[in-house]
Amino acid sequence: MSWLVTKYLTTALVVVLVSEIAKRSDKLGALVAALPLVTILALIWLQVETGSAEKVSNHAWYTFWYVIPTLPMFLAFPSLLPRLGFWGALVASALITAVCFWLFYLLLKQFGVDLSIL
């Protein structure tokens, strides 16, 4: 149980740290947010808990492919924000990301990369 609490607190600390840095500096906050800190933590947690190189490797592999369709959101959100407000831009960006995931899934399937989660 203490391991689970440690995982939650460490992961939450990363998120809080990013938001606190971003309050002080847009660019530095964005840089820290762009670092794969959560992925690194997930890789550490997987290694410590499973000891499975295959599990860790698969996580890194699929994370790479799942990051790519999220990138349009970072371009869409700032342009939608003035027109839709924060919540509208956030929802629209999430929908754009979902569509990008679906299209990217279909594209990669043609090349033998299976991103299906079901």
Q: What is the structure's pLDDT at 59?
A: 93
Residue 69 exposed, middle or buried by CB count within 10 Å (0-12, 13-18, 19+): buried
Residue 6 lies in a domain: no
Q: Within a domain: residue 43?
A: no
pLDDT of residue 31: 86
Q: What is the pTM of this model?
A: 0.75
Residue 44 lies in a domain: no
Q: Is the pLDDT of residue 1 over 90?
A: no
pLDDT band at 38 (very low <50, low <70, confident <90, very high): confident
* Residue 111 placed within a domain: yes
Domain assignment present for 92: yes
Nearest CA among 67, 71, 73, 63 for reference residue 94 = 73
CB atoms within 10 A of CB 106: 10
Give the structural domain span for 105: 54-118
In a domain, 95, yes or no: yes
Q: Say how many domains are in the chain.
A: 1
Which residues contact residue 26 at a Cβ distance below 8 angstroms, ignoring those fewer than 6 apart?
A: none
- Over residues 62-102, the pLDDT tens digits come to 999 999 999 999 999 999 999 999 999 999 999 999 999 99
Contact 61, 44 (CB under 8 A): no
Decide if 68 is inside a domain: yes
* 17 belongs to a structural domain: no
